[in-house]
Amino acid sequence: MRTLLKLILKILAKIILIRYTPRIIAVTGSVGKTGSRLAIVSVLAERWRVGQGKKNFNNEIGLPLAILGEDDSGYRNIFLWLRIFSRALKKIIIKQTDYPQVLVLEYGVDHPGDMDYLLSIARPNISVVTAISEAHLEFFGLVSDVAKEKGKLVAALPPDGLAVLNIDFPLVASMKAKTKVRVIGYGQSEMADIKLTGINISQSAEGRVVGMSFRLSIAGSTVPILIRGTVGWPIASYAAAAAAVGQAMGLTVLEITRGLEKYQAPPGRLKLIAGWQGSLLIDDTYNSSPQAAKEALKILEQFPVPVGSKKWAVLGDMLELGEDSEKYHRQLGELVAQLKSIDYLITIGQESVNLLAAARESGFLVSNSWQTQDTTQATVIIKQRLKTGDVVLVKGSQGVRCERVVKELIAEPEKASELLVRQSSPWV
């Protein structure tokens, strides 16, 4: 059944692309795909009709759904799928005047060969590679193998295409060798065409954290940017990727800046949320990997808190790491201990037993650290100790469902469906 479904979706998506000929911006990477995609959409929408997957539509089912303009899949409901197919056929037969001029699509790969299939559906005009790190190693083995698979997105570019690469990551920067097309590099490196500087957590006059500020060097100009409601270096990186695409497509610096000012980070990606008992939550529960978890912990280390308030690191298992899982969890535990400003550590799941053990072996207080089997246990421990002004970072892989911790701790639980990830069917 799934094979037939994939075939039908692929055929419909390819016909739609022939019918409407949108420009395709493809985004891939171990982390940062969705944040970069949304930032690119926000910038390009200043001039064009832009389409995208409304959810995390980046696999063999999701990518064609994004092309078809569908907000959701039919899951296991044949009648919902028939409606999706019917709407697609209507778009093919009767040309729609509002179909996007530009599509910004995520290309996600979990297994070797995944990228080949996605490219057989839609080949990009512009390829964006955000980062390569330790993700999906259970199926690839080596980070270099992950880079090889994702690099196919760059190799597939046409002669007049463009590669936008985060050159802060050597494995991404090396993808220049895979193509002869124009390459724009972005990042903090001195070699970057779109350069990031002055990345800082931004506070109001009253000392309240409001978001992330930084400067972007674009086309000879340096412009200040403030992204509200979220924190962390990755946010600045998403903006730089969007600026690179915007510049390449002919947008002015003013248009790029205006688009970035409208950008809102998606749920579960370093979002700031008012918490229970006057606390503040850093919700990074969409997913986790060693690189992303390290970045989140460094953000917590730098995060300003009122005198006497505590910093919590609530970390769920990092999944799909294969035989190196113990090593990466232990490395993360050692980092927690090294970052001296973190007061409490709670780990969730089986793999993170190694994280907690390494943190304690490296000097983290046993009395301030707990291993839990599920999110319910973790929430009980936090609520017993949480105080006004405390900051709680929550992060874990999708399978651990760490957003359930955040849901129990948010100040306005009635807003969970709009604030948090995985709040609709089939997750709840």
Does 221 lie in the same domain as 325? no
Q: For helices 233-248 and 253-261, what crossing angle results, to 10°?
A: 140
Instruction: Kindly report, residue by residue over 282-305, the tens digit of the pLDDT.
Output: 999 999 999 899 999 999 999 999
The pLDDT of residue 136 is above 70: no
Mean pLDDT of the chain: 94
Residue 266 covered by a domain: no
> Are residue 14 and residue 80 in the same domain, yes or no?
yes
* Structure confidence at residue 77 (pLDDT): 83
What the block records as the tokens of 210 is 């409001």
The domain boundary residue, chosen from 237, 261, 285: 261
For residues 256 and 282, state if they share a domain: no
Categorize the per-residue pLDDT at 320 as very low, low, confident or very high, splitting at 50, 70 and 90. confident
d(C-alpha 273, C-alpha 280), whole Å: 6
428 located within any domain:
no
């790029």: which residue's tokens?
Answer: 256
Alpha carbon 94 to its chain's center: 35
| Secondary structure class of 328 (helix, strand, coil) | helix
Q: What percent of the chain has pLDDT over 70?
A: 99
Tokens of 181: 């097309």
Q: Which CATH number does the domain housing residue 353 bear?
A: 3.90.190.20
What is the model's pLDDT at position 55? 74
Same domain assignment for residues 204 and 280: no
User: Pick from 230, 261, 292: which residue ends a domain?
Assistant: 261
The domain boundary, picked from 205, 226, 261, lies at 261
Q: Within this chain, do residues 103 and 30 fall inside the same structural domain, yes or no?
A: yes
In a domain, 8, yes or no: yes
Cβ–Cβ under 8 Å, residues 326 and 358: no
pLDDT digits (tens, 9 = 90+) for 144-158: 999 999 999 999 999
424 in a domain, yes or no?
no
Q: Can you tell me the mean pLDDT for 256-280?
A: 94
The full DSSP string for 25-85 is EEEE-SS-HHHHHHHHHHHHTTTS-EEE-SSS--STTHHHHHHHT-SS--TT-HHHHHHHH
Residues 46, 111, single domain; the answer is: yes
* pLDDT for the residue numbered 151: 96
**DSSP state at residue 386:** -
**What is the pLDDT confidence band of residue 220, given thresholds at 50, 70 and 90?**
confident
User: Is residue 427 domain-resident?
Assistant: no
- Whether residue 324 sits in one domain with residue 373: yes
Residue 50's H or E segment, with its range, is strand 50-52
Q: Can you give the residue range of the structural domain that contains 368?
A: 271-419
Give domain status of residue 63, yes or no.
yes
Determine the Cα–Cα distance for residues 127 and 90; give it in Å rounded to an integer: 30
- Report whether 311 contacts 341 (CB < 8 A): yes
- 219 and 344 co-located in one domain: no
Instruction: Tell whether the model's pLDDT for residue 176 goes beyond 90.
Output: yes
What is the structure's pLDDT at 425? 75
Task: Classify residue 96 by its DSSP letter.
Answer: -
> Do 193 and 216 touch, CB atoms closer than 8 A?
no
Whether residue 135 is predicted with pLDDT greater than 70 in this model: the reply is: no
Taking only the tens place, the pLDDT of each residue in 30-87 is 888 999 999 999 999 999 999 998 777 899 999 999 999 997 776 778 888 999 999 9
Q: Which residues of 140-174 are buried (b: 16+ CB within 10 A; e: fewer)?
A: beebeebbbbbbbbbbbbeeebbbbbbbbbebbbe
In a domain, 425, yes or no: no
Average pLDDT over residues 244-268: 95
Domain at 62, CATH number: 3.40.1190.10
Q: Which residues face 221 on adjacent strands?
A: 218
Task: Give the model's pLDDT for residue 74.
Answer: 67
Kindly state whether residues 291 and 235 are assigned to the same domain. no
In a domain, 144, yes or no: yes
| 212 plus 104 within the same structural domain | yes
Q: Are residues 230 and 296 in the same domain?
A: no
Q: What is the mean pLDDT of residues 327-336?
A: 98
Residues 20 and 49 in one domain: yes
Look at the chain and report how many structural domains it folds into: 2
DSSP state of 129: E
Give the torsion sign (CA, 168, 171, 176, 177).
positive
The per-residue pLDDT for range 340-370, each reduced to its tens digit, is 999 999 999 999 999 999 999 999 999 999 9
What's the whole-number mean pLDDT along residues 397-404?
96
β partners of residue 24: 103
Q: How confident is the model at residue 260 (pLDDT cuts 50, 70, 90)?
A: very high
